[in-house]
Structure 1
Amino acid sequence: MRRLVTALIIVAILAATAFWLSRPKPVAVTVASVGTGTVEATLANTRAGTVEACQRTKLSTIVGGRIEYLGVKEGDKVDKGQLLLKLWNDDQQASSTLAAAQVTLAAKRAEEVCIAATNAEKEASRQAELRARGFVSPSREESARTDAEVRRAACATARADIAQAEARLKSTRVDQGRVALYAPFAGTVAKIVGELGEYSTPSPPGVPTPPAIDLFDASCLYVKAPMDEVDAPKIAVGQPVRITLDALPGKVLTGTVRRVAPYVSAVEKQARTVDIEVDFAKPDEAAGLLVGYSADVEIILATRENVLRIPTAAILEGGKVLLLEDGKLVERSIKAGLANWEHTEISEGLQAGERIVTSLERSGVVAGAKATEEQAAR
């Protein structure tokens, strides 16, 4: 009997030890206290935006030809109206010289004819006086008057010839403008296609021919960014924006939406976006940025301050959270308000100071499981 009791005691001890060793261990979780702060509803661009110049033009000559003059290099700053490039046009210059000579000749001929017309009119007046005195016949007076009228008409024709010659000269000068490029505004030369002596091809609309000169004005910059078409109805001109650039890590610039495109762009299949343009709120902060920098924008739709909030990553599907209470995970339903990737406003279901679980991705983190708070590494 004593041996039996001893055996039973040993079995019980072994069973208790096995149960103790095999019992479920509490899950280590990270927690965050429910607190108050600012929550914003925001929208972000789907792909990287770009820093653009307010004024940028890609210039090409209207006609093709050999480059005879190239007065700038890439990176040069130019003034408004400065000659940038000119094609060979000796034939046009010769035509212009000929037209100028024709203007001079027409003027001389008109002077000659009009002097003769003036003299003929004087002679007609004298013949009229002589006829009144009876010294000449009526036919003689009529002949003198007719001659004066013909010469006056010839004078008018000669002056019309001057106008025609001047129009021809103007036409040749217009043709010369087809082979020259002038800066439409003060700016910086970004790119030049072609070298001195090479043939430059015009770039008509719809034809993928690179322009001869790419010119931009870096004194005024803005950001152009694509937004998901689903978010387009929420975006309006004047909304505040935060701008970040890879070239300036850690720096946030402010801006405002100045334009929302009135159409949807389908750059890629299943990727339809609406382009927006954002002005820098403080242009001085944008000074020195390079045109073409990649930029990200975050549009602020609404802001609420001093509201109850929790990390957005702590919310389960269905609007629920897990709380750590007395070493156990407890599920609770909440009512959320404004939200972004970082924080979500809580209008019902939680109180300040309560501890919610944020490590939802860990195995075993479910309602009812025993858990312990993970201590931060020192």
Structure 2
Amino acid sequence: MTLPQALSDGAPDAPDLSALAIDRSAGSRRRRQFRRILGRVILVVLLVGIGGATWLWRRHAQIVVETAVVYSIYPSQALTLLNATGYVVAQRKASVASKATGRLEWLGVLEGSKVHEGEIIARIESSDTAAVRDQAAANVQVAEANLAQGRAELTQAEIAFRRSEALGEKNIISDSTRESAEARLAKARAAFAGYGAAIAAAQANLRASEVAVGQTQIRAPFDGVVLTRHANVGDTITPFSQAIDTKGAVVTIADMDSLEVEADVAESSYLSIHVGQPVEIQLDAIPGERFEGVVSRMVPTVDRAKASTLVKVRFLQRDPRMLPDMSAKVAFLEREVSELERKPVLAVPMAAVFELDGRQHLYVVEDGKARLRSVDLGSKVGDQIEVRDVKAGTRVVVRPLDDLVDGRAVKQATK
């Protein structure tokens, strides 16, 4: 009988083999514990990785922000009541011409030439008027010679009359001879007076001819600068005619010391302005400077087409760079500003500044990234505020978002 058969028959002396079975429960518990620990480690690694990735994204992902540029602003802008536009105009301006008619033979100025009052700037042909003047001068000489002859005849007539008077008293000559001497004296006196009148007439003719010659010399009416040249040598000047191929004025001259700004002010703002009111003038051609001015005159009429009135503003200081017809912006101020308020300061929008750790900060955009920077602030000018330690032209972030951090890449928002 074999061993299995003995075992199956339930032999009483068969050995117990259950103690030889392998217990597998302890290993399975260890494996389960290992898997749990590994899962926790993986979860921690994932959380750390997600956190790091989030930090890196917040650190380097580009964010769209609104920006502004640090620029110069004038504290006096806070005192502005009204702004208007206009042009620089010369109050003394003349189109210089001549009363004479003729061909322009000489022109001594160009555009931009400075001239003085009474200076000859052009000449018209004057040979005919000069001949008339010479003739008048000769007539004066003839009249003076006639006067000298008349004076000699008068002297001789007076001597003859006195002699006849003396001889007549002695009855040496007849009464007719005496009367002839008296008549000769009267005739000599009349001739002498006529010669004197002839001299006066000849001198008057000479002055008229000299005036005619003078009219061919075109002179500057006042000190100024030539703005425009209307004629050239060889042109025919006929100031009182509209003939074809003729010119009227030769040049246009302006007095640069009389430059003012003529600004159009809306009819609704007319009562906000008064004569003597301080203003600041900014010329488009000189954008970096502001000039002091004062309201000098207000034209008492309204332009119906534009619903505006004309206000004339006088410069308090002159600048050689000012030219007629320059575009100008005029700021009407509520009061006269101090010298300190006239100096420009650097400013940023107030919305760009925020408080952090008890100090004022802002974000400066450098190389496409936002850099946190503390700033020293000054006075407020409207919705701007002065900054003292930021360079002009620097771009700053306006209304920074909560997730904006130092060093984060930013992109300017498009409008």
Q: Which TM-score tier does this pair reach, normalised by the shorter chain?
A: 0.5 to 0.7
| Structure 1 position 249 matched with structure 2 position 284 | no
Instruction: Say whether the 8 Å CA contact 2:81–2:334 is kept in structure 1.
Output: yes
Kept in 2: contact 1:219–1:287 (CA 8 A): no
Deviation of 1:288 after TM superposition, in Å, equals 2.4
Amino acid at match of 2:268: V
Contact 1:117/1:155 (<8 A) preserved: yes
Amino acid at match of 1:44: N
Check whether the contact 1:118–1:152 (CA below 8 A) recurs between aligned residues.
no
Q: 1:136 to 1:173 in 2, by over 3 A?
A: same
Alignment RMSD (CA, Å): 3.1
State which drifts further: 100-109 or 224-233. Answer: 224-233
The one-letter code of the counterpart of 2:81 is: T
1:126 equivalent in structure 2: 163
Aligned to 1:70: 107
Q: Does 2:305 match 1:264?
A: no
Contact kept, 8 Å, 2:237 with 2:248, in 1: the verdict is: no
Q: Which has the higher helix share?
A: 2
Deviations 1:120-153 (A, max 9, x none): 0111011111111221223322221121011111
Residues 21-56 of structure 1: CA deviation (Å, up to 9, x unaligned): xxxxxxxxxxxxxxxx996462232xx312233532
Number of matched pairs: 269
SS of the aligned residue for 2:281 comes to: strand
For residues 178 and 293 of structure 2, what CA distance do their matches in structure 1 show?
A: 87
Secondary structure of residue in 1 paired with 2:132: helix
**Cα separation, partners in 2 of 1:188 and 1:204, compared to 1, 3 Å:** farther
Letter paired with 2:279: V
Quick one: which of 307, 321, 324 aligns to 1:291? 324
Give the aligned partner of residue 313 of structure 2. Answer: 278
Q: Which residue of 1 aligns with 2:274?
A: 236
TM-aligned CA deviation for residue 301 of structure 1: 4.2
What is the CA-CA distance between 1:99 and the residue it aligns to?
0.8
My pick for the range that moved more, 245-254 or 93-102, is 245-254
Within 5 Å, give how 1:6-45 maps onto structure 2: 40=79, 42-45=81-84
Give CA deviations for 1:223-267 in whole Å, capped at 9, x if unaligned: 22222233334432111111111112242221111111233345x
Whole-angstrom CA distance in 1 between matches of 2:328 and 2:77: 25
Cα deviation, residue 218, structure 1 = 2.4
Deviation digits for residues 135-175 of structure 1, max 9, x if unmatched? Answer: 12233222211210111111000110010011111111222
Gaps of 5+ in 2: 1-75, 338-381, 384-398, 405-409, 411-415
After superposition, the C-alpha distances for 1:301-355 in whole angstroms (9 at most, x for unaligned) are 4699xxxxxxxxxxxxxxxxxxxxxxxxxxxxxxxxxxxxx68xxxxxxxxxxxx
Identity of counterpart residues, as a percentage?
Answer: 30
Q: C-alpha separation between the residues in 1 aligned to 2:276 and 2:284?
A: 25
Q: Provide the C-alpha distance between the structure 2 equivalents of 1:38 and 1:215, rounded to a whole number of angstroms.
A: 36
For 2:123 and 2:311, locate their aligned partners in 1 and report how far apart those are by CA, in whole Å: 37
1:111 shift after superposition: 0.8
Structure 1 residue 116 and structure 2 residue 144: aligned?
Answer: no
Aligned to 1:30: none
- The 1:295/1:41 distance shift into structure 2, 3 A limit, reads closer
Query: What is the one-letter code of the residue matched to 1:114?
Result: R
Of the two, which has the highest radius of gyration?
A: 2
Q: Which runs of 5+ in 1 are unaligned?
A: 1-36, 305-341, 344-372
Q: Deviations over 1:171-196 (max 9, x none)?
A: 11222233321012232211111111
Are 1:156 and 2:193 counterparts? yes
User: In structure 1, how many angstroms separate the alpha carbons of the residues matched to 2:223 and 2:77?
Assistant: 45
* TM-score (ref. length: structure 1): 0.64
Equivalent residue, structure 2, for 1:217 = 255
SS in 1 for 2:254: strand
Q: Secondary structure at the match of 2:92?
A: strand
Name the counterpart of 2:233.
196
